[in-house]
A and B are shown apart, each in its own frame.
Chain A
Amino acid sequence: MTEVKVKEFWRWKEYNWHDENKDWKGAETITAGVDVGSVSSQVVIMVDGELYAYSNMRTGSDSPDSARNAMNWALEDTGMALDDIHYIVGTGYGRVNVPFANRAITEIACHARGGNYMYGPSVRTILDMGGQDCKAIRCDERGKVTNFLMNDKCAAGTGRGMEVFADLLAVSIEDVGDLSLDVEEEPEPVSSTCVVFAKSEATSLLREGWSKKKVLAAYCSAMAHRVVSLLDRIGVEEDFAITGGIAKNSGVIKRLEGELKINSLKSKHDTQIAGALGGALFAKSLAEKQRKKGA
């Protein structure tokens, strides 16, 4: 019997990075944020308030293991050990299951704080398009949350939904956005309330002879519609930024910007690390407070 090799089109790039030019050994404060999300986990390590290392990988079925794996990967080749980190904040849906965290903070607060670092203090609205939910967050110049809204009990408009579509159409998840923009005419969006319904709708469209690009366009458009209604409920104040994995999907972002008639800010950092980054920044404030208290 020959085994059929199935390509996992949904699989996005997992990676780690650290700043080879930075010497952390003399640092005063080393902190980390661990974001165990529903789909992906990230660890960000900061040295004296500057980004030093991070990792980004898929979340497994066990939250503590996912946190450990992501941490080990972020520490890889840095010479740093877990014990060298002064304060660790856990965030994401697995925030209470990070075994080595000193404190858990919600990803809503962390995305606002991380977004503030990534895009600057002028950001007032952050849209986090995560693995299994979307959050519209309003914040002040420090990255403190002033209001927020989450989507309800549905994975449409999220990373998981996009993965389902990548697999259905056998298109690599990283190509989905650009391909969806390569259509002559924008099609009507598919159902935006349920991934399963959207998938069955897409299957019938393919049967009708729609091209993959056109179906992707219809799905990206549905995702954009869905989050626009979430943003409308909370109100968008500029500057506006998007975090999370879907921020890398040009097909959703361009359509979203078109509907809002607002451009989102761009960052040199990976949009998926915003939550962990916010966690590491909170960890720095908390470490300093702890030190002051102890002194």
Chain B
Amino acid sequence: MFSKFFDWYENRHDYAKDWIKKTGGEVVGCFCSYAPEEIIYSFGLLPHRMLGSHEPQDVTEPHIFGMFCPFCRDVLAQGLKGRYDYMKGIMLSQSCLHLRQSFTSWRNHVPVDYAHYLYMPAKVQTEHARPYLKGELEKFTKSLEEWTGKTITDDQLKESIDLHNENRRLMHEVYDLRKGPNPPVTGLEAMVMVASSFFVDKKDHNAELKRILPELKSRSLDRETGARLMIVGSEDDDTEFVKMVESVGATIVTDDHCTGSRYFWNEVELKNGDLLQDIADRYIDRPACPSKDWEERTRFPHVLKLAKDFNVDGAILIQQKFCDPHECDIPMLKKYLEDNGYKSLFLEFDVTVPLGQFRIRTEAFLEMIGEEDLF
């Protein structure tokens, strides 16, 4: 049922090249889930969030520090290896220094016509963040106008907002189905569904979501649900890891990842009479990346609510190695979840996943949260 999403996810470059051919538009590579895709799309451009390929590589060594995260290296490697030779524009919505390094190296070493650095405020909790981000969005819009030679009307922007909101609502509907006792969607399918939405025209993505949703509601999977787990942490499109977890007696029923629920959780609400301000508010109010989630940790109650709503038995806290914002939060988050009755397992991603070592930890964790039958 999810084969289209898997096809898009696995053949993202083919999709992008076909899209260019079909529409005559350009693809803009985005470096973070804070990229305001609504604006990019309204110019007739296709936003494409760049992910890694999970292969060992040797091309980023001169460009990125050894103690920067594997994800930022893997993303840059895709550019340096020429896999995005069709892509004319890139933009970064600032989240962390590691990804910023990938962006600046890309700008310097991979030929592009357009590169924009958008400063997404780090302290989203201050009242100054909203007008500030709106100003940044104005600058971004202006730079896209200069690059494309187009100007966009409010109607065009509104249409793009509606399309993106619809995509968010549809993915929510799929997530909602995972709350029940026998989820009709595996964690792997959900991961690929969200990840494919980074690459695909939301019109196509929405059409496919609308096609599968009625069938999905009555779908029964020929597998035991086992322990209901949530995954929480930094960038994560590690399908091999999810496959392994779901092969040892568990199902991932929800997540708090920027490659998962954080990406689509809230909509742009039209409430200010100013579309750019509405968009700015959406990105300020979305479930935060820990690099922006201070001084109050708003993520923690959000994660707890997810755990309760999706009826989870435990959480896997998984982060990219050297991802300081997550790493700093994890001891506190672990304790917070524990205090609220949820046990968790901490794991660290590298470019490739040491499946054997992760498997024993996962199995032991599952035995720990549900081994009553062994005694």
Which residues of A approach B to under 8 Å, CB–CB?
93, 105-109, 113, 142, 144-148, 150, 152-153, 282, 285-286, 289
Contact with A along B351-366 (1 / 0, CB 8 A): 0001011001101100
Interface-facing stretch out of B48-56, B135-143, B367-375: B367-375
Within 8 Å of chain A (Cβ to Cβ): is B348?
A: yes
CB of B368 within 8 A of CB of A148, answer yes
CB of B364 within 8 A of CB of A108, answer yes
CB of A105 within 8 A of CB of B367, answer yes
Chain B residues positioned under 8 Å from A144 (CB to CB): 368, 371, 375
Smallest CB–CB gap between B56 and chain A, Å?
15
CB of B364 within 8 A of CB of A285, answer no
Smallest CB–CB gap between A209 and chain B, Å?
35
Q: List 27 A-B contacts (CB under 8 A).
A: A93-B356, A105-B374, A106-B360, A106-B363, A106-B364, A106-B367, A107-B360, A108-B360, A108-B364, A108-B367, A109-B364, A109-B368, A142-B375, A144-B368, A144-B375, A145-B364, A145-B368, A146-B368, A147-B343, A148-B364, A150-B357, A150-B361, A152-B348, A282-B374, A285-B374, A285-B375, A289-B373
Chain B residues positioned under 8 Å from A152 (CB to CB): 348, 357
CB of A109 within 8 A of CB of B357, answer no
Q: Decide: A93 near B360, CB < 8 A? Known: A153-B354, A282-B374, A286-B374.
A: yes
Smallest CB–CB gap between A156 and chain B, Å?
15
The 3 A-B pairs at the shortest CB distance, nearest first, are namely A108-B364, A106-B364, A145-B368
Closest residue of chain A to B360 (Cβ to Cβ) is A106
CB of A145 within 8 A of CB of B371, answer yes
Smallest CB–CB gap between A88 and chain B, Å?
14
Among B354, B363, B373, chain A packs the most CB atoms within 10 A around the CB of B363
Chain B residues positioned under 8 Å from A145 (CB to CB): 364, 367-368, 371
Cα distance A105–B366 in the bound complex, in angstroms? 11
CB of A109 within 8 A of CB of B360, answer no
Chain B residues positioned under 8 Å from A147 (CB to CB): 343, 368
User: Which of A142, A153, A285, A289 is within 8 Å of B357, CB to CB?
Assistant: A153
Cα distance A285–B357 in the bound complex, in angstroms? 27
Cα distance A150–B368 in the bound complex, in angstroms? 15
Q: A105-B367, A153-B354, A285-B374 are in contact. List 13 more A-B contacts (CB 8 A).
A: A93-B360, A109-B364, A109-B368, A109-B374, A142-B375, A144-B375, A145-B364, A147-B343, A147-B368, A150-B360, A152-B348, A152-B357, A289-B373
Chain B residues positioned under 8 Å from A285 (CB to CB): 374-375
CB of A109 within 8 A of CB of B371, answer yes
Chain B residues positioned under 8 Å from A108 (CB to CB): 360, 364, 367
Cα distance A142–B374 in the bound complex, in angstroms? 11
Chain B residues positioned under 8 Å from A150 (CB to CB): 357, 360-361
Cα distance A148–B369 in the bound complex, in angstroms? 12
Among B343, B361, B363, B364, chain A packs the most CB atoms within 10 A around the CB of B364
Smallest CB–CB gap between A25 and chain B, Å?
28
Chain B residues positioned under 8 Å from A107 (CB to CB): 360
Cα distance A153–B360 in the bound complex, in angstroms? 13
Smallest CB–CB gap between B368 and chain A, Å?
5
CB of B348 within 8 A of CB of A109, answer no
Cα distance A285–B374 in the bound complex, in angstroms? 6
Q: Decide: A109 near B356, CB < 8 A? Known: A152-B348, A285-B375, A286-B374.
A: no
Closest residue of chain B to A282 (Cβ to Cβ) is B374
Smallest CB–CB gap between B298 and chain A, Å?
27
Chain A residues positioned under 8 Å from B367 (CB to CB): 105-106, 108-109, 145
Closest residue of chain A to B350 (Cβ to Cβ) is A153
Cα distance A129–B354 in the bound complex, in angstroms? 21
Closest residue of chain B to A151 (Cβ to Cβ) is B357
Closest residue of chain B to A135 (Cβ to Cβ) is B364
Smallest CB–CB gap between A42 and chain B, Å?
17
Chain A residues positioned under 8 Å from B343 (CB to CB): 147
Smallest CB–CB gap between B370 and chain A, Å?
11
Chain A residues positioned under 8 Å from B368 (CB to CB): 109, 144-148
Chain A residues positioned under 8 Å from B356 (CB to CB): 93
Chain B residues positioned under 8 Å from A282 (CB to CB): 374
Smallest CB–CB gap between B59 and chain A, Å?
23
Cα distance A107–B361 in the bound complex, in angstroms? 10
Cα distance A146–B374 in the bound complex, in angstroms? 14
Of residues 312 through 356 on chain B, the ones whose CB sits less than 8 Å from some CB of chain A are 343, 348, 354, 356
Cα distance A33–B357 in the bound complex, in angstroms? 21
Closest residue of chain B to A146 (Cβ to Cβ) is B368
Cα distance A134–B374 in the bound complex, in angstroms? 23
Cα distance A146–B367 in the bound complex, in angstroms? 10
Chain A residues positioned under 8 Å from B364 (CB to CB): 106, 108-109, 145, 148
Cα distance A145–B375 in the bound complex, in angstroms? 12
Smallest CB–CB gap between A36 and chain B, Å?
13
Cα distance A265–B282 in the bound complex, in angstroms? 58
Smallest CB–CB gap between A164 and chain B, Å?
21
Chain B residues positioned under 8 Å from A113 (CB to CB): 374
Closest residue of chain A to B374 (Cβ to Cβ) is A282
Among B357, B368, B375, chain A packs the most CB atoms within 10 A around the CB of B368
Cα distance A86–B368 in the bound complex, in angstroms? 25
Of residues 24 through 59 on chain B, the ones whose CB sits less than 8 Å from some CB of chain A are none
Chain A residues positioned under 8 Å from B348 (CB to CB): 152
Cα distance A219–B375 in the bound complex, in angstroms? 39
Smallest CB–CB gap between A149 and chain B, Å?
9
Chain A residues positioned under 8 Å from B371 (CB to CB): 109, 144-145
Cα distance A262–B373 in the bound complex, in angstroms? 33
Cα distance A144–B373 in the bound complex, in angstroms? 11
Cα distance A150–B356 in the bound complex, in angstroms? 13
Cα distance A148–B356 in the bound complex, in angstroms? 17
Cα distance A152–B350 in the bound complex, in angstroms? 12
Smallest CB–CB gap between A15 and chain B, Å?
27
Smallest CB–CB gap between B375 and chain A, Å?
6
Smallest CB–CB gap between A291 and chain B, Å?
14
Closest residue of chain B to A142 (Cβ to Cβ) is B375
Smallest CB–CB gap between A244 and chain B, Å?
15
Closest residue of chain A to B338 (Cβ to Cβ) is A147
Closest residue of chain A to B345 (Cβ to Cβ) is A148
